[in-house]
Amino acid sequence: MSGLLAGKRLLVTGVITDASIAFSVAKLAQENGAQVVLTGYGRLSLVERIAKRLPEAAPVIELDVTNPEHLAGLPDKVREHVDGLDGVVHSIGFAPQSCLGGGFLDAPWEDVATALHVSTYSYKSLAVAALPLMSPGGAVVGLTFDATQAWPVYDWMGVAKAGLESTSRYLALHLGKQGIRSNLVAAGPLRTMAARSIPGFEQFENAWSGRAPLGWDLADQEPAARACLALLSDWFPATTGEIVHVDGGYHAIGA
């Protein structure tokens, strides 16, 4: 097949609905020549149904990124479908409700620890688990939400994203010796399932609609997905530790 990712083998996490950024990444990747393997956690049957909506039905592997046994077994499960990986997409994030919606001062450590484990540490865990399948030229790409500022109602998830951004830079440092890149895409707010779990999310919607220089479509995941594909491709061979903003330019504009 021809395309930006012709011949690439990708592992894509975080496909929950066809409105997710991860689904758009998987769809565009297949359309551009890649083989795609998905991971799911919890309701695997739901992910399998969504996987059938792709241009080509993709296999689904069960993966809880906080489970050491799942992580240790990942290479063998992936090899049941492809003989290696050229790219990994991390689209995983979760925070208990106490950590969102204005509860920053009251959230207990146990809940904060869960948010950091799932949303931050898992980026390193996933990359290390996939490492035996990867070779020089490979790429790990994650999704973030600009953590250079404190956002209303985002609270501990914002802290987790700041940690994710730092984790990506350290992965770039340590994986660079093996020729593997680590980059993030900072997408603007989108109406995904994750967004619906954030109380007061409409504050983001209103801000972006009025300030993004290029405008912002809250229902269009494709711009962020395209950025992920570019970073997974061979067109950024010397770029690592970077954060690419796909937010209509909002991050560059002052109040």
Burial of 53 (0-12, 13-18, 19+ CB in 10 A): middle
- Residue whose structure tokens are 């340590």: 174
Is 161 catalytic? The answer is yes
- Residue 67 near residue 75 (C-beta atoms within 8 A): no
Tell me which of 124, 161, 170, 177 is the catalytic residue: 161
Tell me how far apart the alpha carbons of residues 3 and 24 are, in angstroms, rounded to a whole number.
Answer: 16
Size (the chain), residues: 255
User: Does 154 participate in catalysis according to the annotation?
Assistant: yes
Query: Which position among 27, 41, 124, 154 bears the catalytic label?
Result: 154
The DSSP secondary structure of 98-116, one letter per residue, reads GGSSS-TTT--HHHHHHHH
Residue 30 CB contacts under 8 Å (≥ 6 apart), including other chains: 36, 54, 55, 56, 58
Residues with catalytic roles: 154, 161
